[in-house]
Structure 1
Amino acid sequence: MLRSAILLPALCATTLHAAAQQLPADTVKGLIRDLSRELALKHPGFYRYHTPAYFARYTDSLTATVTGPLSELETFRKLKPFIAQIGCLHTELQLSDATRAAMAQRPVLFPMQLYFKGRKAYVLRNLSGNKAIVPGSEVLSINGRSIPQILDVLLPSIAADGFNQTLKYRSLFYFFPLQYCRMVEVTEQYTVQISHQGKASTHKIKGALTKDIATPGFMMPPDFSKPLELSIHQATAVLSIHTFADSDLKEYDQDFKLFMVSAFADLKDKGVQHLIIDLRNNTGGSDGNAVFLAGYFFDKPYRYWNRIEVTETIARQITGEAEQYYNKPVQEGNRWLWQKAKVVNDFDYYEEQQPALSPFRGKVYVLTNGFTMSSSADLAAVLKYNKKAVFIGEETGGGFQGNNSGMMPESEMRPSGLVVTIPLQKYYTAVDSTLYAGKGTVPDYPVTYSPQELINGKDKEMAVAENLIRKPSK
């Protein structure tokens, strides 16, 4: 999605700032009220899943919990669940650069990759150096806190579209060490209670630096040869799309549209009848690329988005320099409709879209998980609604009915040092508004894993797709 640094002033006028300072209770309460007011005025999806009355009660309740001075980190822990309540994966809250840098210099990360299944956690990778902790073991508690108690803190702090849970659990899978120290405690020593083959044991382990535990796909970006990959075997092809972001593609010297033109020409020349599209861990990118791909699965004009909305506050800010780039939003009743821009084409796709000149005629299978987000989730929703593919895996982390994104300016919440990102456009995908309310695209064939299957490196989603191709359902 397009990012922009315009249209959002700092939340507070005061210029005081020191990462380590204690903020008086009244200052923290003011930050909560200021943030709530800014979100109501500028976030078009603030009330997408909850009513104004709900957020008024939530704000009052949260403010009442502030009874004394708080540090930046303590303030962050108050506000992070508030941000997540919006149900918008693009609304972010970050610690200041100074605080993050200070934490990164200390060995405070929990040195294991955990797999959370329901209310339980299992060791997938043990990076602590303690060989007595065997992968596959269940983690019962960390520093005296049970796993359910930890989940009760972490899950409400992770932002996802609507009421989605698959994104939250996948986020824990990849980033639990970071989330634990930011939301629960900062410590260099861990006491872990483990259960293996029915026997409980307790172990003391040391915290780690990021460089000590990060591996591709855990605490760092995944490792793949190219962002776009196509393999063809007889009448079946696998198209792996790891990103829709042009910036990522450029690093690998790939052009999305050129790659797809070539790929679909190959599919036609080689008589491919079954196409597996892998969108797992595709967190989004350019809407234009996602729309371009969608066109290959339609043989007549179709709709991708229904409309894009902004708040009245943002609509009225399209003046002066901003008006040189963007057209003025149009008021329709009590909503403001965002229009195509004058300079960029990022907002063009609420109009009727044309199919590709040579659409794919075979059967399509799409693999998704909780990290199928943003433009990737929009594509999944459009294909699902129009019955253009069979979906396998997990519910997408991005919403079926749309998201809030577009221009996403950052603003420093002075004097705390915290930085909030507020998306300014509210997108509605061209789907039935009564389907999957508050959810992502739900798979036709849900896939779950046992800890041992993950340890063994099984790819169950791909196996399901291959089995459907071999034994098509009646």
Structure 2
Amino acid sequence: MVPAIPLLPLTLFTLQPVAADTPLRYPAAAVIRLIDTLSGKLDESHPGYYRYRSKSRVQQYTDSLKATITADSLTTLEIYRKVKPFVSAIGCLHTGLQLPPAYVSQLNSQPNLLPLQLLFDDRQATVTTNYSADSSLLPGAVITAINGKSIRDLLAVLLPAIPADGYNLTMKYKTLYHQFPSWYRSMIGPAGTFTLTLSDGRTVIIPAARFEELARPGFLEEPSPRETLSFTLKGKTAILTIRSFAASDVKRTGQHFRKYIDRVFLQLQQQGIRQLIVDLRGNTGGTDGNAVYFTRHFFGQPFRYWDRIEVTPTIAGQIKGFTRLFYRKPALREGTYRWKKSPVTREFDYYTLQQPARSVYNGKTYILTDGFCMSSCADVAAILSFHRKAVFIGEETGGGYQGNTSGMMPVVELPPVSLLLTVPLQQYYNAVDTTLHRGHGTPPDYAVPLTANAVINGIDQPMELALRLAGAM
């Protein structure tokens, strides 16, 4: 969820480039101040800071974290490894903490990444793609330890550091599938070689690779599909794929979201198509207007999409003077400051009653989801699931069923290390039952987790199940 006009920036510090191989160490007192600064910024500006943990629990965590700063000084990576799980523990996938870009660039210039793509469960990792020169590591090889650390011990470090809404795990495991080498490097440490222990008793040693040697769309880089939207017919079953709701992604592929969706649903109506499969897997969200527009095609009556949007008192207090030309003053209601419609952008309008589309679909709908269904995509899934507009197949969505914290997301630099903290300023509440799936995403009606066998053999199990249920196989 990204607004049209990103105002309300938090205080920014001057960026200082930091080389990855610098011997710089930072005094313990400076690290403790960094933690206090970080916690203070989140407390004053992040409306979801206490969404899943009480203020007292957050304070206990903050105090215990500072108590672990026992060394006289810490390096950039040591500080990052201390603070990253603290930020991720908020339970907000939009709250980010990144290493300085110059530092990452320096890391990327060196061979320090594991040249394998791995699919994880809670005990082991399976090779799905081997980018190393060692031909003995065939797809399907099972790794039980890396550089002397068991997969279970590695996951105990990595999973708490990966941000996700609430207590969700599907997004964390999906992240590891697509980005494990980078996460290993930042949270465990760069390595020049990797000693792999395999389930068959073998030990394999492979050299590390550089980022540019490994990175490709979908692995270490964002996927880059040729089409954001696609539509096909398989007999009397339609398949609509939406890779993103982001206007920028749709524009990049030369498509127009609303016109495309209108044509699809008009065709469904005119041809009497009664079975529709919507593939939302890998859709990380984007423009709320597009997400809402799509959702309207399943409702014959007006409906609620968001219940409300909240901001902190500090952010509410910043809506004054010139800023009020773009945003209306949040209203204090039932103890919280609630966002109101903007006179300029419509990005925050969808807490009001939504009207049905012109071409409403009344047939059977199957929606495919996975852990990378985030943000506005997760909102769509929640609303359609709550109103029983579709059957869901695949994995729990990575974004929260109850909503998320996103909207405007300024970046704060944390001195003295120049770690970059992304702070979302709007807390969204979906118009769903508040007792359902708290801290989790929309669950599937038919759970079909991704398996190594399916990846290696090119089997799309969720789609196959949807086609069988629709009578198209």
> What is the letter of the counterpart of residue 346 of structure 1?
E
Q: Distance in 2 between matches of 1:14 and 1:132?
A: 49
Query: For residue 443 of structure 1, what is the aligned residue in structure 2?
Result: 444
CA contact (8 A) 1:296 1:359 kept: yes
Contact 1:17 1:414 in 2 (8 A): no
More deviation, 297-306/74-83: 74-83
What residue in structure 1 maps to residue 2 of structure 2?
A: 2
1:131 maps to which residue? 135
Number of equivalenced pairs: 468
Structure 2: which amino acid aligns with 1:187? A
Matched, 1:168 2:172: yes
After TM superposition, give the deviation of residue 25 of structure 1 in Å.
0.3
**What letter is aligned with 1:261?**
D
Question: CA–CA distance in 1 between the matches of 2:343 and 2:450?
Answer: 48
Q: 1:272 to 1:61 in 2, by over 3 A?
A: same
Q: CA RMSD in A?
A: 1.6
Q: Which one-letter code corresponds to 1:251 in the other structure?
A: R
Q: CA deviation at 1:309?
A: 0.3
Decide whether aligned partners of structure 1 residues 453 and 9 sit closer, same or farther in structure 2, where only a CA change above 3 A counts.
Answer: closer
- Following superposition, the deviation at residue 18 of structure 1 comes to 4.7
Distance in 2, Cα, partners of 1:389 & 1:352: 21
Q: Which residue pairs with 1:462 in the alignment?
A: 463
The match for 2:110 is 106
C-alpha contact 2:109 2:211 (8 A) present in aligned 1: no
Question: For residue 54 of structure 1, what is the aligned residue in structure 2?
Answer: 57
Q: 1:115 aligns with which of 94, 101, 119?
A: 119
Give the CA deviation at 1:213.
2.1
Give the TM-score of the pair, scaled to structure 2: 0.96
Q: Secondary structure at the match of 2:190?
A: coil
State how far apart, in whole Å, the 1-side matches of 2:122 and 2:316 are.
Answer: 43
Q: Within 1, Cα distance between the matches of 2:367 and 2:245?
A: 15
Match status 1:156 vs 2:166: no
Tell me, in whole angstroms, the C-alpha distance in 2 between the residues paired with 1:14 and 1:365: 49
Alignment of 1:428-439 (within 5 A): 428-439=429-440
Distance (whole Å) between structure 1 residues aligned to residue 217 and residue 39 of structure 2: 37
Q: Report the Cα distance in structure 1 between the residues aligned to 2:461 and 2:106, rounded to whole angstroms.
A: 40
Give the Cα–Cα distance (whole angstroms) in 2 for the partners of residues 440 and 452 of structure 1. 25
The answer to whether structure 1 residue 370 and structure 2 residue 371 are counterparts is: yes
Q: Which amino acid aligns with 1:465?
A: A
Matches within 5 A, 1:12-51: 18=18, 20=22, 21-51=24-54
Determine if contact 1:17/1:416 at 8 Å carries over to the other structure.
Answer: no
Which SS does the other structure have where 1:348 is aligned?
coil
Counterpart amino acid of residue 191 in structure 2: T
Q: Which residue of 1 aligns with 2:294?
A: 293
Counterpart position of 1:414: 415
Match of 2:202 in 1: 201
**Which is further off, 385-394 or 19-28?**
19-28
Question: How many angstroms does 1:248 deviate by?
Answer: 1.0
Query: Counterpart in 1 of 2:348?
Result: 347
Match of 2:185 in 1: 181
Give 3-state SS (helix, strand or coil) of 2:205's partner. strand
Deviation per residue, 1:411-459 (Å, 9 max, x gap): 1112211110000000000000000011000000000243222200110
Map of 1:318 onto structure 2? 319
- In 2: Cα distance, 1:58 partner to 1:388 partner: 41
Q: Distance in 2 between matches of 1:9 and 1:397?
A: 27
**2:333 aligned residue:** 332
Q: Which position in structure 1 is the counterpart of 2:96?
A: 92
- Kept in 2: contact 1:391–1:444 (CA 8 A): yes
Q: Which amino acid aligns with 1:178?
A: S
Q: TM-score, normalised by structure 1?
A: 0.96
- Partners of 2:37 and 2:451 lie apart in 1 by 45
User: d(CA) in 2 for partners of 1:188 and 1:108?
Assistant: 5
Amino acid at match of 2:217: P
SS in 2 for 1:39: helix
Q: 1:353 to 1:98 in 2, by over 3 A?
A: same
Residue type matched to 2:134 in 1?
A: N
Counterpart residue identity of residue 26, structure 1: A
Quote the offset at 1:14 in angstroms: 9.0
- Rounded Cα–Cα distance in structure 2 between residues aligned with 1:216 and 1:438: 30
Q: Which amino acid aligns with 1:51?
A: S
Query: Percent identity at matched positions?
Result: 46
Q: What's the offset of the Cα at 1:158? A: 0.3
Corresponding residue of 2:75: 71
Alpha-carbon separation, structure 2, partners of 1:330 and 1:309: 9
Do the aligned residues in 1 keep the contact of 2:217 with 2:224 (CA within 8 Å)? Answer: yes
SS for the counterpart of 1:398 is coil
Structure-1 separation of matches of 2:15 and 2:469 = 61
One-letter amino acid of the structure 2 residue matched with residue 96 of structure 1: P
Separation in 1, partners of 2:431, 2:10:
33
Structure-1 residue corresponding to 2:305? 304
Residue by residue, what CA displacement relative to the aligned partner does 1:268-300 show, whole Å, maximum 9, x if unpaired? 222211110000000000000000001100000
- For 1:106, the aligned partner's letter is Q
C-alpha displacement at 1:17, in angstroms? 7.2
Q: State the 1:8 CA deviation.
A: 3.9
Q: Is the 8 A contact 1:300 1:354 kept in 2?
A: yes
For residues 471 and 286 of structure 1, the distance between their equivalents in structure 2, rounded to whole angstroms, comes to 32
Which has the higher mean CA deviation after the structures are superposed, 378-387 or 442-451?
442-451
Per-residue deviation at 1:358? Answer: 2.0
Q: Which runs of 5+ in 2 are unaligned?
A: none
CA distance in 2, matches of 1:396, 1:130: 36
Kindly indicate whether the alpha-carbon contact (under 8 Å) linking 1:234 and 1:272 is maintained by their aligned counterparts in 2: no
* Amino acid corresponding to residue 70 of structure 1 in structure 2: L
Deviation (angstroms), 1:232:
1.2
Question: What is the match of residue 238 of structure 2?
Answer: 237
Gaps of 5+ in 1: none
Name the CA distance, whole Å, in 2 between partners of 1:295 and 1:183: 42
